[in-house]
C-alpha cells in the first residue's frame, strides 16, 4: 500500500506492530494451558511488559488521535457510519483492556494464582480477537481514507501534534 500522508503511514505502522504483538501474545496464551508459566520465564516477562506498554499507548494516544481528529473528519466527509463502527470497537476494546492491564500488572508482580492466570488467558484472548480484528478493519478502511482525505497542511499539523 502506497501511502502519501505521514499520519496514515504512522497508523499503518502502529497497526502492523500491534497485530504482530497480539499474535505473539495469543500464541503465548494458548501455550499456557491451565497453569501459569514458570516464575523465571524471561520470554513471558518481556512479553507482559510489551503488552502492557502497547495497550496503554494504544488506548490513549492512538485511539485519541482517531476519536478527536479523524472520526470527526470522517463524519464531515459522509463516512459517519464507519466512524461510529470504529468508535464502538474502541469502547469494547477499552472494556477488555482495563481489567487485562490490572491482571498483567499483577502477573508482572508475581501476584497471580491459577485462577488469575486463567482470567488473564481469557481476557487476553478476547483482546487478541477484538483488537486484532479492529486493527485489520482500520487497515482496510480507515488508513486509505485518512490518506485520501488529509491535505498536506492538515497532515503536517496532525503529525506535529501526534509526535510531540
Please say if the pLDDT value at position 127 is more than 70. yes
Structural domain count, the chain: 1
Q: Three cell numbers at 164?
A: 510531540
Residue 64: inside a domain, yes or no? yes
143 lies in a domain? yes
The answer to whether 156 touches 7, Cβ cutoff 8 Å, is no
- Whole-angstrom Cα distance, residue 116 to residue 106? 9
Q: In whole angstroms, what is the distance from residue 71 CA to residue 88 CA?
A: 12
Say which range, 15-29, 34-48, 92-106, has the weakest mean pLDDT: 34-48
Which structural domain, as residue segments, surrounds residue 66? 6-32+41-163
pLDDT digits (tens, 9 = 90+) for 69-111: 999 999 999 999 999 999 999 999 999 999 999 999 999 998 9
State the CATH number of the domain containing residue 13: 1.20.120.520
Whole-angstrom distance, CA of residue 66 vs CA of residue 58: 11
Amino acid at each position: 500500500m502506497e501511502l502519501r500522508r505521514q499520519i496514515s503511514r504512522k497508523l499503518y505502522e502502529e497497526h502492523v506492530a500491534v497485530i504482530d504483538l497480539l499474535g505473539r501474545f495469543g500464541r503465548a496464551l494458548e501455550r499456557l494451558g491451565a497453569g501459569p508459566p514458570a516464575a523465571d520465564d524471561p520470554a513471558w516477562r518481556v512479553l507482559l511488559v510489551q503488552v502492557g506498554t502497547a495497550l496503554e499507548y494504544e488506548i490513549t494516544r492512538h485511539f485519541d488521535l482517531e476519536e478527536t481528529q479523524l472520526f470527526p473528519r470522517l463524519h464531515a466527509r459522509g463516512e459517519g457510519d464507519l466512524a461510529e463502527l470504529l468508535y464502538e470497537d474502541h469502547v469494547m476494546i477499552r472494556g477488555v483492556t482495563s481489567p487485562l492491564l490490572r491482571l498483567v500488572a499483577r502477573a508482572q508482580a508475581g501476584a497471580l494464582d491459577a485462577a488469575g492466570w486463567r482470567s488473564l488467558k481469557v481476557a487476553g484472548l478476547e483482546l487478541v480477537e477484538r483488537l486484532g480484528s479492529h486493527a485489520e478493519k482500520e487497515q482496510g478502511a480507515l488508513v486509505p481514507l485518512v490518506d485520501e482525505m488529509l491535505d498536506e497542511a492538515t497532515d503536517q499539523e496532525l503529525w506535529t501534534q501526534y509526535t510531540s
